[in-house]
């Protein structure tokens, strides 16, 4: 047969219309059909190399994990220790499973729930851990989850994100870690029974139960409601570690009520602790009083609280971490050839305003934006190549912002 008469045995394209035509024993296949075949194999079963890579990982000890967290997160030693141990035990459980000893003891997972005010570092802890892990990791938001069926997202969308993080390798995703943020937003709205179902609160909690415990879940790989025609992927959640975090606004009042003390301060054998320290005494009964159902609480055996950031911690956050705010803004100005610096008085002023606003570390960025906004607008392209932010300059920018607002 002449070369011009050759064609793909699958799609029928002639040799002139394709880039590569591979010859076989009884026919030919073009490069386009090879690409389509590879996509089908990946979608149906995943590649063997990807499965093997999900099993081979470096076992990181708790001290090594915490040391990595210390580079980016200031304070919160108790929470960092808890997360480090949880992740380390998750690694060990995966190693234990692949040992192949059928008579060995089955190791259950210990899901974690973090309680802390906004800006204390819950999400940052999750993102920092994600950068160092050898297993798939995803961050999901509980605020968009509903059981209504026509708005929001289904609970299974949490696993859709994990599949995407694992490049749709099911074997790898089944050994991943999921961080569900804003878990307090799905608390039961009230204790009063209602004829209608609470589709955004208790309904979501009930839907999460099987997911957390471990079962086979039919997961839409592209999200559920926008692509109803897609083929569902079965994912077993038995070895997926779930870590949840939430601000739980008002939790300190619940803790104080349980301790039969006021929220202003309570005495415990001569020791006075105010409401800012009350979260350190949180226990599962407080989560139930807040609005989480007992079945959900029972699936989180590890509970830890993040303490509110004190003034000295906020001061260190400005300058010490690898991605400290001051370093970020110095780099931003350096991209325009401008040398930015802060004196000690300016940093103290920023911290004072952040403490006053009670927004934790997130409040620091908002204050810095106000102080540097005019400079970021005026200086690029100008002859000014240095900018030193003093307390006087910072206060003038904050005062100007207040005058504009009024």
* CATH number of the domain to which 83 belongs: 3.40.50.300
Tell me the average pLDDT across 45-69: 65
Q: Which two tokens stand for residue 389?
A: 């932010």
Q: Report residue 35 as tokens.
A: 């690409």
354: pLDDT strictly greater than 70? yes
115's CB contacts (< 8 A; 6+ apart) are 245, 246, 248, 251, 279, 282, 287, 303, 304, 305, 306
Residue 226 has pLDDT above 70, yes or no: no
Shared domain for 279 and 379, answered yes or no, is: no
Instruction: Report pLDDT for 330.
Output: 95
Instruction: Give the end of a domain, one of 256, 273, 306.
Output: 306
Is residue 294 in some structural domain? Answer: yes
* Same domain membership, residue 262 and residue 325: no
Q: Please indicate, yes or no, if residue 49 is contained in any of the structural domains.
A: no
* Residue 55 pLDDT > 60: no
Residues 254 and 350 occupy one common structural domain = no
- 271 beta partners: 268
- pLDDT (mean) for 143-153: 67
In a domain? residue 126: yes
Q: Distance from CA of residue 369 to its chain's centroid? A: 24
Round the average pLDDT of the chain to a whole number and report it.
Answer: 82
pLDDT over 50 (residue 47) = no
Residue 39 has pLDDT above 70, yes or no: yes
Q: Has residue 52 got a pLDDT over 50?
A: no
- Distance, in Å, from the CA atom of 279 to the CA atom of 282, rounded to the nearest integer, reads 5
User: Would you say residue 51 lies in a domain?
Assistant: no
Tokens of 5: 């008469």
52: in domain: no
Could you give the percent of the chain with pLDDT greater than 90?
Answer: 31
- Whether the per-residue pLDDT at 63 is higher than 90: the answer is yes
Domain boundary among 306, 321, 338: 306
What's the CATH code of the domain at 337? 1.10.8.60
pLDDT at position 90 over 60: yes
Clarify whether residues 254 and 135 are in a common domain: yes
- The whole-number pLDDT of residue 107 equals 77
Q: What is the pLDDT of residue 278?
A: 78
| CB-neighbour burial class of residue 367 (10 A; exposed 0-12, middle 13-18, buried 19+) | buried
Average pLDDT over residues 120-142: 85
Number of structural domains the chain divides into: 3
Q: What is the mean pLDDT of residues 214-242?
A: 79
| 375/21: higher pLDDT | 375
pLDDT of residue 136: 86
The verdict on 219 and 275 lying in the same domain is yes
Whether 2 has a pLDDT exceeding 70, the answer reads: no
If asked whether residues 130 and 213 sit together in one domain, one would say yes
Same domain, 214 and 173: yes
Q: How far is CA 90 from the centre of its chain?
A: 17
Note whether 200 and 79 are same-domain residues. yes
Predicted local distance difference test score (pLDDT) of residue 152:
62
Could you tell me if residue 293 is inside a domain?
yes
- Are 32 and 11 contained in the same domain? yes
Nearest to 69 by CA among 131, 130, 128, 14: 128
Least-confidence region, from 149-153, 312-316, 397-401, 402-406: 149-153
In a domain, 50, yes or no: no
Q: Is the pLDDT of residue 49 over 50?
A: no
Q: Can you give the residue range of the structural domain that contains 289?
A: 57-306
- The reply to whether 333 and 217 lie within a common domain is no
**Is it the case that residue 399 has pLDDT exceeding 60?**
yes
Same-domain status, 158 and 201? yes
Is the confidence at residue 51, as pLDDT, over 50? no
Per-residue pLDDT, 54: 42
DSSP string of 91-151, one letter each residue: HHHHHHHTT--TTSPPPPP--EEEEE-TTSSHHHHHHHHHTT-SS-EEEEEGGGB-SSSSS
Q: Return the pLDDT at 345.
A: 94
Please indicate, yes or no, if residue 189 is contained in any of the structural domains: yes
Q: Is the pLDDT of residue 225 over 80?
A: no
Domain-terminating residue out of 276, 306, 336: 306
pLDDT at residue number 231 = 80
Q: What is the pLDDT of residues 254-286, one digit of tens each?
A: 888 887 654 455 544 534 456 667 788 889 999
Question: In the block, which residue shows the tokens 């307390």?
Answer: 391
Lowest mean pLDDT among 57-61, 135-139, 240-244, 321-325: 57-61
Q: Are residues 8 and 151 in the same domain?
A: no
Q: Is the pLDDT of residue 199 over 70?
A: no
Higher pLDDT, 145 or 340: 340
Has residue 198 got a pLDDT over 50?
Answer: yes
């Amino acid at each position: 047969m002449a070369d011009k008469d050759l064609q793909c045995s699958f799609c029928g394209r002639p040799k002139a219309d394709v880039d590569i035509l591979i010859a076989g024993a009884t026919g030919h296949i073009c490069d386009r059909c090879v690409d389509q075949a590879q996509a089908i194999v990946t979608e149906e079963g995943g590649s063997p190399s990807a499965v093997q890579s999900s099993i081979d990982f470096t076992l990181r000890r708790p001290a090594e994990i915490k040391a990595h967290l210390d580079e980016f997160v200031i304070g919160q030693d108790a929470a960092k220790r808890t997360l480090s141990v949880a992740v380390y035990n998750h690694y060990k459980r995966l190693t234990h499973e692949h040992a192949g000893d059928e008579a060995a003891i089955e190791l259950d997972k210990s899901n974690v729930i973090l309680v802390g005010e906004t800006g204390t570092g819950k999400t940052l802890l999750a993102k920092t851990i994600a950068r160092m892990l050898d297993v798939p990791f995803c961050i999901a938001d509980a605020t968009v989850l509903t059981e209504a069926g026509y708005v929001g997202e289904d609970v299974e969308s949490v696993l859709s994100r994990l599949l995407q993080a694992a490049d749709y390798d099911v074997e790898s995703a089944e050994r991943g870690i999921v961080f569900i943020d804003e878990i307090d937003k799905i608390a039961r709205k009230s204790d009063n029974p209602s004829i209608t179902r609470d589709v955004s609160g208790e309904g979501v909690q009930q839907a999460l139960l099987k997911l957390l415990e471990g079962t086979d879940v039919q997961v839409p790989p592209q999200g559920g409601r926008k692509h109803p025609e897609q083929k569902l992927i079965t994912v077993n959640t038995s070895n997926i570690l779930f870590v949840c975090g939430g601000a739980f606004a008002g939790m300190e009042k619940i803790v104080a009520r349980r301790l039969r003390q006021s929220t202003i301060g309570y005495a415990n054998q001569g020791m006075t602790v105010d409401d800012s320290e009350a979260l350190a005494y949180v226990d599962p009964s407080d989560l139930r009083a807040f609005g989480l159902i007992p079945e959900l609480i029972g699936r989180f055996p590890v509970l830890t609280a993040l303490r509110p950031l004190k003034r000295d911690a906020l001061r260190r956050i400005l300058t010490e971490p690898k991605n400290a705010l001051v370093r970020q803004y110095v780099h931003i100005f350096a991209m325009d050839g401008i040398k930015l610096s802060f004196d000690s008085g300016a940093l103290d002023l920023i911290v004072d305003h952040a403490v006053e606003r009670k927004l934790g570390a997130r409040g620091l960025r908002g204050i810095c934006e106000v102080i540097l906004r005019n400079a970021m607008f005026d200086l690029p392209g100008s002859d000014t190549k240095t900018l030193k932010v003093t307390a006087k300059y910072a206060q003038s920018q904050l005062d100007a912002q207040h005058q504009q607002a009024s």
